[in-house]
Structure formats: structure tokens, C-alpha cells
Amino acid sequence: MLVSIYRTTKFAAQTFYRNLWLSVITIFILILTLFTVSLVATMNLLADRAISAVEEKIDVDIYFADNTSEENIIAAQMFLEDVPEVKNVRYVSKDEALEKFKDSHADNVDIQNALEELDENPLPASLIVQANELSDYEVIMQQFNNSEFDIFTEEKNFSDQQAVIDKLSAITTRVYQVGVAVSAVFIVISVVMMFNTIRLAIYAHREELAIMKLVGATNAFIRAPFILEGAFYAVLSSAIAMSLLWLVVLFTAPYVNDFFFGYNFNLDVFFYNNFLFIFSIQFLFSLILSVGSSMISIGRYLRV
């Protein structure tokens, strides 16, 4: 058994080195394919996580008029809590709103002095509403607008945050579409390259294969080196493509993290936590691509 494995591996290595430049070009094409596909898949996962992180920060702030009693605001809160689409409702009183405003502008002396000159608290009481899903906000606001509590409100601010989500989703969709198109082109090129590489290897070894068949080698033993060669291409190209992807993450992480500053998202942590998953998918895809192409070429050109 060990002897068969050794001979198969040796034969596959000889095939690789005899067509070294063709092997290098094939690996280069596979690397480009894997890198493109991995980048698109990673960006898709990244976009999903990023949108989820942004969605966690999204809420609706319902501001009430100054003459609205606390009893009416509490009643409005209880009404919203009974809406199935609502995840959480938090009441922010006028005093709490003022304290938060002071804390957020603690370094601004002019604002602090202006607040001390005021006789009354200018900030309104509000309810902060979070929905179970982003699409639920429209339902929630429709129900609230049709309720008896809508007359007490002065402002509702959800449209700006919705615009952030829409813009991010639009960019993600466009990048994903372009990435899929480019990946498809590289996949086709990779299949053709692997197919021709194995075909040339079969042609180069045609005399040796005939001798092996005459001395009693099984069909599986004759085919194995070419399948192993395809697997070797998959291992090497996956390792290099993953290294390139890691370098891209390393250099772009500071910019991505700055873009999502304040949100529960970090590109470095995301990549490290999903490293094995990304590499496994990448290697499996590479193995299917290279070994599958090899087997098609073997089936067509290897007559044993």
C-alpha cells in the first residue's frame, strides 16, 4: 500500500516538473480564480455582518412635545411594547436627555455655558424603539401613526438611518455582481487550463502508460497520478490565494474599521474568527475545480 502511494506520488511529481512552466501557469490561473472567488465570498460575508452591525444600531427616536405628560408617554411606551414587531422600547426623560447631551459635549465650554444660562430644559422626552427586523420599522411606524399617541409627537427620525442601510446594500449588490461575473470568467479559464494540462501530461507519458498497462498495472493506479497532480494544484493554489487574501485584509482593515467606527464590527476579528471556514470553502472549491477538470480530461484522453 505504501509502495503504491510512493510510486503514485513520484509519478505525479515527475509529471509536474516535466511540464513546469505549464504547471506554473495553471497554478497562477487557479490562484487568480480562488483569490477572486474568495474575495467575492468574503466581501459578501463581510457585507452581511456589516449590515447586521449597522442594523443593531438603528432605532426610531420618537420625540414628544413639551406639554406631553409623562403618563401619556408611558402609555405610548406600553402601546409600542404590545406591537409584535417591536423588540425593545426605552423611555428617555427630559432630564436624562439633558444629562446625555451635557456628557457628549463635556469638552465644549460654549455649549456648557449656554446650558447654564437656560431657565428650562429645551430637550424633549423621547421613546427609543428597536424592531426585530429592519423591515418591521415601517409596520411599527404605521401602527403608531394611526394610534391616539401620534398627536403628542413632534418628530420621528428613522429616514436618515434607513438611507445608510440602503446605500450600503446598493454598493454591496453592485460589487457582488461584478465579482461574480469576473469569477465566472476565471473559473472557465481555470477549467480549460487544467483540462489541457492533464491532457498534455497524458500525451507526454503515453509510452510509459502503455508499458504500465502491459505489466499489469490497474486502471486506478494509472489514473491516480493525474488525479493527485490535480489535488497538488489545489493545495498549492489555495495556500497562496489564502495568503494573498490575508495580506489584503491586513492592509485594508484599518480603513474598514474606521468606516465602521462606533459599530460592533472589526474586520481583523471577523477574518480571524472565520479563517478556517473561508480556507475550507476555498480549498474545497479548488479541489472540486482542479480534480474535477483532471477527471474529465482523464476520461476523455486516457485510454486504459
- Is the confidence at residue 233, as pLDDT, over 70? yes
pLDDT digits (tens, 9 = 90+) for 145-163: 888 888 888 887 765 556 6
Domain count, the chain: 2
- Is the confidence at residue 207, as pLDDT, over 70? no
67 and 105 fall within a common domain: yes
pLDDT of the residue at 183: 74
182 and 97 fall within a common domain: no
* CA angle at 250 for the pair 247 and 252, rounded to the nearest 5°: 105
Q: For a pLDDT cut of 70, what percent of the chain falls above it? A: 69
Q: Give every CB contact of residue 242 below 8 A, 6+ residues apart in sequence.
A: 38, 278, 279, 282
User: CA 156, CA 183: separation in Å to the nearest integer?
Assistant: 44
Q: Read off the pLDDT band of 302 (50, 70, 90).
A: low
Highest mean pLDDT of the ranges 15-29, 107-121, 138-152: 138-152
Highest mean pLDDT of the ranges 77-81, 131-135, 154-158, 195-199: 77-81
9 and 91 fall within a common domain: no
Residue 178 lies in domain = 2-55+163-301
102 and 116 fall within a common domain: yes
- Is the confidence at residue 267, as pLDDT, over 80? no
pLDDT of the residue at 235: 82
pLDDT of the residue at 178: 76
User: CA 194, CA 295: separation in Å to the nearest integer?
Assistant: 10
179 and 285 fall within a common domain: yes
For residue 195, the tally of other CB atoms under 10 A from its CB is 18
* Bigger pLDDT: 188 vs 163: 188
User: CA 223, CA 32: separation in Å to the nearest integer?
Assistant: 27
> What cell does 121 get?
430644559
Q: What is the CATH number of the domain that holds 111?
A: 3.30.70.3040
293 and 179 fall within a common domain: yes
Which of 157, 183, 204 is the endpoint of a domain?
157
Which of 92, 124, 157 is the endpoint of a domain?
157
User: CA 188, CA 190: separation in Å to the nearest integer?
Assistant: 5
pLDDT of the residue at 16: 60
User: CA 97, CA 121: separation in Å to the nearest integer?
Assistant: 9
- In this structure, the chain runs to a length of 304
209 and 291 fall within a common domain: yes
Q: Read off the pLDDT band of 164 (50, 70, 90).
A: low
- The alpha-helical segments, DSSP class H, found in the chain are 2-18, 20-57, 70-81, 94-104, 109-117, 136-145, 159-204, 206-214, 219-259, 267-273, 275-301
11 and 110 fall within a common domain: no
Which of 140, 157, 174 is the endpoint of a domain?
157
pLDDT of the residue at 219: 63
150 and 70 fall within a common domain: yes
User: CA 299, CA 288: separation in Å to the nearest integer?
Assistant: 16
pLDDT of the residue at 160: 56
Helix (H, G, I), strand (E, B) or coil at 128: strand
